[in-house]
A and B are shown apart, each in its own frame.
Chain A
Amino acid sequence: MFYRRSGIRHTRYQSERQLFPLGFDRFLILSVLAVLLAAPFLFDRLYVTGYLLPWLIWSSAALGLNLLMGGAGQVHLGYGAVMAMGAYGSVHLMRFGAPLELAMIAGGLISASVGIIFGAAALRVKGIYLAMATLAMQSIVDFVISQTPAISGGALATLQAPPARFLGISLSGERETYYFALLVCAVITLFMLNVRRTSFGRALAAIREKDYAAEILGISTLRYKLMAFWVSSFIGGVVGSVLAICYLRAVSPDQFHLDLSIQILAMVIVGGLGSVLGPFFGAALVLFAPILINNALGSAFSTFGMTVPIDLRAHLPLVAYGALVIGFLLYEPYGLAKIYSNVRTYLLVWPFRHAQR
């Protein structure tokens, strides 16, 4: 009904393989894009820089991790470390006077080349053991960064990101920064959308599903696991540098600890493994649910006149947030994106009942 399919007849493979064959999907995506483009003019600047900007950056990071976890089926618990390398790499390069465009790519390459070393672990171990190996990567990178003064400037030091220009436009203003993050996010999203319809993406999916069957079809598991780590780490590095230059504007080692890795991992899982929409939902939930719950509880306490001890008051939102995540994993293991797709499937044939998928 809403997602009208009748009357759509493809006469060329090209039109069948387009990203959004349904008109309503195209309409939705364009409206969201229009809102995002107009956001700096529509909303208060506090909302744009305080909510939308981090949402875009964290979504981009989650997309990068989702290529590895949802796309190729490899667990990674050290994505924060991957981003740290990109962030520090690009900030250092920019302090030496490199332009942002170059520093960003170089940051990605640094992350990719270190990430691929840890990806090599994936050739030997799977599942929970790979999780441990990548966790070790997180600790090693954390340690090296904080203990090497040449990188971090000392264990407790903060490194200022120099003022950046992108294609000649200064990124000191909030609007410019927002549009820059939006651009990076859009490019990564386009890449992830295309992954689903190219031989590269199919090869990754084949390895995820059945590696032995992939091998006899000519897909080298060695090559493609490494490629998955390479590309995913590259994206992580680029997003890391965007995070450092656009949002944090100064880097210190504690910003990229295990907390960040777990946060992004939660976004991927709660959002929906392997989906492109998922990371956006996941990032929104993980970033904003604690704030919303906090506000809701706060107003509830004050309206009912309850006196709650301050430490309970501080921890209740976390408890509620944890319960929310567990609830999602229990009732919809494929995440928020799956809930959206269920609704979409229902509306696809509404008012009739039975959808094909």
Chain B
Amino acid sequence: MSSTEAPVLSCEGVELSFGGLKALKGITFSVQPGEILGLVGPNGSGKTTTVNVSTGFYRPNAGRVRLFGEDITGIKPDRIARRGVARTFQNLALFKGMSVLDNILIGRHIHMRPSALGTLFYWWWAQREELAQRRVVEDVIEFMQLQDIRDEPVEVIPLGLQKRVELARALVSEPKLLILDEPMAGMNQEEKEYIARFILDAREERGVTILIIEHHMDVVTAICDRAIVLCNGEIIAQGEPRAAIAEPAVIKAYLGERAARRVGMGDAA
């Protein structure tokens, strides 16, 4: 595999089961450099599990996961993060009791050299690094338009902003691959449009490749270059988003047999 055109992330026949439940039944797909890939599917179809395998939280029973052509199967999440992967979580995973600013600063962890002695001798050892990283963080705060809430405790701001802070925390680590797990869950139309804009801008200005799990089909068709549809741990359709979600197998998975037949006959527009 040539390293220049290697896919950012590729899963090859990934299988995973929890006890008797086969959560992933041989998933094979790849994320190409610079694309926004949508991962959709009904509840329990294995989307988050796929992401968890790709980021090292689960070790697959079979199959390989590659990042830029390098095998990362079974490597711990913190190692994978250092190879340029960042992600957000379906249920917010912000650090409570800390300010928005500190939450985003944690995102710079892999670019810093934390030490206890450096903490004791802050003025001589750590200050310069802290302030340098602060500048990078401020760039992202500006990019995500979080200036006016940067000193707020993260638990008091509204959900829409919390999601934005989490996205900022992921972006600030300067990832090559950004994985977003339902970044728009529970949001109103306006907040969704904001996030969609930030995702497109992130690719445009920062050159990140994005894998996004999303339930809002309007968002998927609007911002994704490609979509992969999962159902019961299998890929049932993939390709251009509009075409992929219109396939009979997908309609059947979401709406049932009858709806799929009606669409097949050209009943529903």
Q: Using CB atoms and an 8 Å cutoff, list the residues of chain A in contact with chain B.
A: 13-14, 17, 187, 190-191, 194-195, 197-203, 205-206, 209-210, 212-221, 227, 230-231, 274, 356-357
Choose one: A199, A206, A220, A230; the contact of B130 (CB below 8 Å).
Answer: A199
Q: Using CB atoms and an 8 Å cutoff, list the residues of chain B in contact with chain A.
A: 55-57, 76-78, 80-82, 85-87, 89, 93-98, 102, 105-110, 112-116, 118-120, 122, 126-127, 129-131, 133-135, 152-153, 156, 169, 173
Give Cα A206–Cα B156 distance, bound, in whole angstroms: 18
Assuming the contacts A212-B57, A215-B78, A219-B109, asked whether A200 and B116 have C-beta atoms less than 8 A apart, the reply is: yes
A209 touches B116 (CB 8 A): no
* B81: nearest chain-A partner, CB-CB: A218
Give Cα A212–Cα B181 distance, bound, in whole angstroms: 14
A-B contact count (CB 8 A): 120
A217 touches B119 (CB 8 A): no
Assuming the contacts A194-B119, A199-B105, asked whether A209 and B81 have C-beta atoms less than 8 A apart, the reply is: no
Q: Which residues of B contact A213 (CB under 8 A)?
A: 89, 93-95
B153 touches A357 (CB 8 A): yes
Choose one: B98, B110, B114, B169; the contact of A200 (CB below 8 Å).
Answer: B114
Q: Which residues of A contact B110 (CB under 8 A)?
A: 217-218
- B125: shortest Cβ distance to chain A, in Å? 9
Q: Which of B102, B113, B119, B152 has the most CB of A within 10 A?
A: B119
A203 touches B114 (CB 8 A): yes
* B105: nearest chain-A partner, CB-CB: A202
Q: Which residues of A contact B102 (CB under 8 A)?
A: 202, 205
Give Cα A274–Cα B115 distance, bound, in whole angstroms: 19
Choose one: A194, A209, A220; the contact of B78 (CB below 8 Å).
Answer: A220
**Known A216-B87, A217-B106, A218-B78; 5 more pairs at CB < 8 Å:** A14-B131, A200-B119, A201-B119, A205-B95, A217-B78
B109 touches A191 (CB 8 A): no
Choose one: A187, A197, A215, A227; the contact of B77 (CB below 8 Å).
Answer: A215
B77 touches A216 (CB 8 A): yes
A191 touches B119 (CB 8 A): yes
Q: Which residues of A contact B81 (CB under 8 A)?
A: 215-218
Choose one: A199, A212, A218; the contact of B93 (CB below 8 Å).
Answer: A212
Give Cα A220–Cα B110 distance, bound, in whole angstroms: 10
A202 touches B93 (CB 8 A): no
A194 touches B120 (CB 8 A): yes
Q: Which residues of B contact A274 (CB under 8 A)?
A: 97
Give Cα A191–Cα B122 distance, bound, in whole angstroms: 8
Q: Which residues of B contact A14 (CB under 8 A)?
A: 127, 131
Give Cα A216–Cα B106 distance, bound, in whole angstroms: 11
Q: Which residues of B contact A206 (CB under 8 A)?
A: 95, 106, 109
A202 touches B78 (CB 8 A): no
Q: Which residues of A contact B122 (CB under 8 A)?
A: 194, 197-198
- B159: shortest Cβ distance to chain A, in Å? 17
Assuming the contacts A200-B114, A227-B116, asked whether A217 and B173 have C-beta atoms less than 8 A apart, the reply is: yes
Q: Which residues of A contact B108 (CB under 8 A)?
A: 199
Give Cα A227–Cα B89 distance, bound, in whole angstroms: 27
Q: Which residues of A contact B87 (CB under 8 A)?
A: 216
Give Cα A71–Cα B99 distance, bound, in whole angstroms: 15
Q: Which residues of A contact B169 (CB under 8 A)?
A: 217
Q: Which residues of A contact B80 (CB under 8 A)?
A: 216
Give Cα A175–Cα B130 distance, bound, in whole angstroms: 39
- A120: shortest Cβ distance to chain B, in Å? 17
Give Cα A262–Cα B97 distance, bound, in whole angstroms: 26
Q: Which of A194, A210, A212 has the most CB of B within 10 A?
A: A194
B78 touches A216 (CB 8 A): yes
* B127: nearest chain-A partner, CB-CB: A14
B114 touches A198 (CB 8 A): yes
A217 touches B107 (CB 8 A): yes
B95 touches A195 (CB 8 A): no
Q: Which residues of A contact B118 (CB under 8 A)?
A: 198, 200
* A204: nearest chain-B partner, CB-CB: B114
A218 touches B98 (CB 8 A): no
Assuming the contacts A199-B112, A216-B78, asked whether A210 and B93 have C-beta atoms less than 8 A apart, the reply is: yes
A195 touches B119 (CB 8 A): yes
Give Cα A217–Cα B87 distance, bound, in whole angstroms: 8
Give Cα A195–Cα B120 distance, bound, in whole angstroms: 8
A216 touches B95 (CB 8 A): no
Give Cα A213–Cα B179 distance, bound, in whole angstroms: 13
Assuming the contacts A205-B95, A217-B81, A231-B116, asked whether A199 and B109 have C-beta atoms less than 8 A apart, the reply is: yes
Give Cα A274–Cα B97 distance, bound, in whole angstroms: 10
Q: Which residues of A contact B97 (CB under 8 A)?
A: 205, 209, 274
- B116: shortest Cβ distance to chain A, in Å? 5
* B126: nearest chain-A partner, CB-CB: A198
Give Cα A217–Cα B55 distance, bound, in whole angstroms: 11
